[in-house]
Structure formats: structure tokens, C-alpha cells
Amino acid sequence: MQGTRTKPSSDATFSIPSLNRYNTDVQAAQVDQGLRAIQQAYSPDTQPTPQYPPTAAYEHPAVVSTPNALGVNAHQQFAHPVAQPQPSYTEGMVAYQNLNAMVTDMVPFVPSPEYAHPDTTMPGSFYAQHPPQPKIPTVFNDPNRELQDQFDLHGDVNVDPSIWNQDVLQAQPATYEHHHTGIEAPAVQPEYQSPYHEEEYAVHEAYARNEPDGVEVPHTSEAMQRLGEWLAYARMAHMEAWNADRSGE
Amino acid sequence: MSGIFQRALELIVGDSSRAALTQIPKDRHFKQITERDLIRLESEIGSQIFGALPHGHRREFFCLDSTTWIWYEEWYDENRRFQTSTIRYEINQNGVLKVQEGARYSYLDGQEYEHFAMAMKMYFEQVMRRVYGRYPASGELITPVIA
């Protein structure tokens, strides 16, 4: 039937938008509105007249005698505006409190990752300040490396924390070898099935052979390959961390 | 005729097969990142470590895998013809094998070898810091994980 509209049912599809740019703009507009109210409430027009006379600097003749393109002299342009009806002190305080509450609500706001640039070098980027952390902790220069080697572990985030039983560990000699301990290596959680596990270990070993005090210009094929391995490792670790962050893990 | 049309279309909108190497999809922030995406980011750095490019040139330089590096450059010659050059550097036990189009193979030596080694170092240092947020020397994250 032409011209007839059907009243939407109460369960019509409508979803409150998540915290995104739209809401941010709305909040910003509300803040602007609150700020204007405060500025009006605390405008100099509503304040007591200063007791001191204006200085000569405010009455410079060159300023007074120069009309602008609209034909308004500068002293008129910058003159105090005519006082207009202003909100009372109470109204100003209410506006201030409303604004304060609004700002307080906004304090925890952080840019949604969907709007963050993955380039961690971009100034102001969310990920420049909060770079995604790989789920696999770095194996470089890890003080627990000896411990990790004993258990043949290279990343321990997914390992059952019960393995860190200090009573058991401290009861063992500090220099014992893994295959001499009789302690079974703890089971790795199923989710820790990274295909880069072996590569990670290889990089770890490769790095252990390198000079620790800086990256030398690779003059040998072996050194060049190590650089490539480190890049591949960093790439995979970054990708895993990023994608885990995206999938909400 | 279709070839001419295809060529004209490429000149206007670009070659999609080549563009895919460098164009970063705008919606990548919403998706999971791929190794290819990261290589593109690395190549943005790699293309700049050799200095400014002549007008009309485009360059890519990136580490494809642990033993393969790619140099790609495209430009228009004096006859306004589109030219490309792809060089693959393969690192093996004997050195760095330079593989050019036309089945030309040669091992790097002398100054070219030194330049390549220095380019690798510059690439590594900048990519580790700027793309992956790690110290090049140690591999540790520049922003440590706070437990």
C-alpha cells in the first residue's frame, strides 16, 4: 500500500554501535558544548571589572587606526564584546560537573585496535605505544635459558605452571643435564603447536654463536643466512602475535 | 588489438599483478596479517636504504626467506617504454649467487658484495626496529612484556 509505513516492531534490528569513531565524534561534540557553556559561565564579562586601568599597550594608535577588510578598526575588532545574558554560576557549575563526568568516562578510552595502524613506528599509533606482544616470549638472552634447555622448552607461556615447582627444581643440582635428571619434560599444551618452533630454536642457537655486542656487517654466507633467519623468526613471531590479538586469544 | 587495449588499461589503472606486491589493502587493520603483508612493510624500508630514486622509478628490496633476497625495479626508459628488472640473490655456502633475468648467474664479489652485505645490515637493523619492535643486536622486544 503506497504511502503507508509500517511501525517497526520493538525487536527491530538495531545495535548500539561499539566504541568507534562515531561515538568519539559525538562525545567530542558534547565536550565542545560543555566547554562553551563553561567559557560563557566564566567569561570575563561575568567577572568583576578589573580594578587596574588598561595599560597603554592596549591603546596603541597604530592598532586603532587600521581598519580591516570589513571596515572594522582593530580596536573595535578586539574590543570587549557587549555583555550578553550569561548562565548563572549554578548553571556553570552544573555544566562543569556534567563535562567532568563526561571526560571521566572518556579517560579509559583507547583507540580501537581496528583503527590502529599496524606500523608501530607511526607516531601516535596505538601500537607504537602498545605493540602486540608475541605469545611466545623471546628466547634471546633469556636468563632462564639453562632451565629451558633442561626441559627442552623455548617458550613457556603455554606450559602448565605447575612445572615450576620450586621444591623440585631446587632439589636438583644446578648443573645436571636434562637426560640425567629423571624428571620428565612437562607436556606442552596442545595450542602450542607453532610450526616455527624448530626455527625458533635454530635461531636461538644461531644467535648464541654470534657476537652479543652488536650486529656486524655479514661478511660470510653463514652470517648472511643468520640475518635472514632472524628476520624470518621476527616476522613469524610478529605475525603470530598480531593474529592472536586479532582472534581475541 | 586486445593486447593494445590491455596495455593501455595497465597504463591507466596499473598492472594488478605488480600492484599487489606493493599496495597495502586498506582493510588490513581489520584482518589477520599475513607474511606477505609483513614483507610489504619490510620492502617499504628496503626500497629506501639505497637513497633517493630517480623520477619515475619504483624499487622493492626485501628478504624473501632466510636465503633469498629480492631486488625489483621498474621505470620508463627514454622511449617511454616500461622496463622492469628483477634480481634474486641466493645465499649459499659458496657465496651470494646473483640470478638475473635471462638465465644469467654470477656470484657477487668485490665492491658489489660489500654493498650487498651493507644493505643487508641496514635492512636488518631498520626492519627489526621499525617493523618488529625488536633490538637488532639482541632480538629482545623494545617494549618489554610487563608481567
Chain B stretch 115-134, residues whose beta carbon is closer than 8 A to a beta carbon of chain A: 117-118, 120-121, 124-125, 127-134
Q: Are B66 and A231 inside 8 Å of each other by CB?
A: yes
Residue A89 CA to residue A43 CA, distance in Å, equals 11
Residues in A closer than 8 angstroms to B137, CB to CB, are 212-215
Q: A113 — contact with chain B (CB < 8 Å)?
A: yes
Q: Which residues of chain A have pLDDT under 70?
A: 1-31, 34-35, 38-90, 92-93, 96-217, 248-249
Residue B33: alpha-carbon gap to chain centroid: 18
Are A221 and B134 inside 8 Å of each other by CB? no
Would you call B31 an interface residue with chain A, using a CB distance cutoff of 8 Å? Answer: yes
Instruction: Tell me if A230 and B39 make a contact (CB, 8 A cut-off).
Output: no
Secondary structure (3-state) at A88:
coil
What pLDDT is attached to residue B135? 81
Residue whose C-alpha cell is 621444591: A167
Contact B133 A225 (CB under 8 A): no
Question: Cβ contact (<8 Å) for A141 and B140?
Answer: yes
Q: What is the pLDDT of residue B39?
A: 92
Distance CA B132, CA B129 (A): 6
Write down the pLDDT at residue A200: 46
The shortest CB-CB distance from A138 to any of B121, B137, B141 is to: B141
Q: Is A167 on the interface with B (CB under 8 A)?
A: no
In contact, A112 and A20? CB cutoff 8 Å: yes
Partners of residue A120 in chain B, C-beta under 8 Å: 130-131, 133
Least confident of A1-15, B25-39, B47-61: A1-15
In chain A, which residues have their Cβ closer than 8 Å to the Cβ of B120?
Answer: 218, 224, 227
The CA distance from B78 to the nearest CA of chain A, in Å, is 37
The ipTM (two decimal places) reads: 0.76
For B:77-116, CB contacts with A below 8 A are 91-96
Write out pLDDT tens, residues B74-96.
Answer: 888 888 888 888 889 999 988 99
A177 Cβ under 8 Å from any chain B Cβ? no
How far is residue A187's CA from residue A174's CA, in Å, rounded to a whole number? 22
The verdict on a CB contact (< 8 Å) between A217 and B131 is no
Cell numbers standing for residue A128? 607504537
- Rounded to a whole number of angstroms, the distance from the CA of A135 to the nearest CA of chain B is 10
* Chain A residues lying within 8 Å of B138, measured CB to CB: 140-141, 212
Mutation target to probe the B interface, by most B beta carbons within 10 A, among A139, A220, A235 is: A235
For residue A92, give the 3-state DSSP assignment.
helix
Q: Does B32 touch chain A (CB under 8 A)?
A: yes
Predicted local confidence at residue A210, as pLDDT: 42
- Cβ atoms within 10 A of the Cβ of B89, count? 21
**Which pLDDT score, from 0 to 100, does residue A152 have?**
42
Q: What tens digit of pLDDT does each residue of A128-163 get?
A: 555 555 444 444 444 454 444 444 444 444 444 444
Min CA distance, A210 vs chain B (Å)? 10
Residues of B in contact with A246 (CB under 8 A): 31-33
- Would you list the DSSP string of A147-208? HHHHTT-S--TTB-GGG--HHHHHTS-TT--HHHH-PPPPPBPTT---TTHHHHHHHHHHHH
Under an 8 A CB cutoff, do A140 and B132 touch?
no
Nearest to A36 by CA among A101, A85, A95: A95
Mutate to test the interface with A, among B66, B92, B145 (most CBs of A within 10 A): B66
**Of B123, B135, B108, which is closest to residue B60 (Cα–Cα)?**
B123
Taking the C-alpha atoms of residue B62 and residue B67, their distance in angstroms, rounded to an integer, is 11
Q: What is the pLDDT of residue A151?
A: 43
Residue A231 contacts B where some CB pair is shorter than 8 Å: yes
The CA distance from A239 to the nearest CA of chain B, in Å, is: 6
What pLDDT score was predicted for residue A227? 87
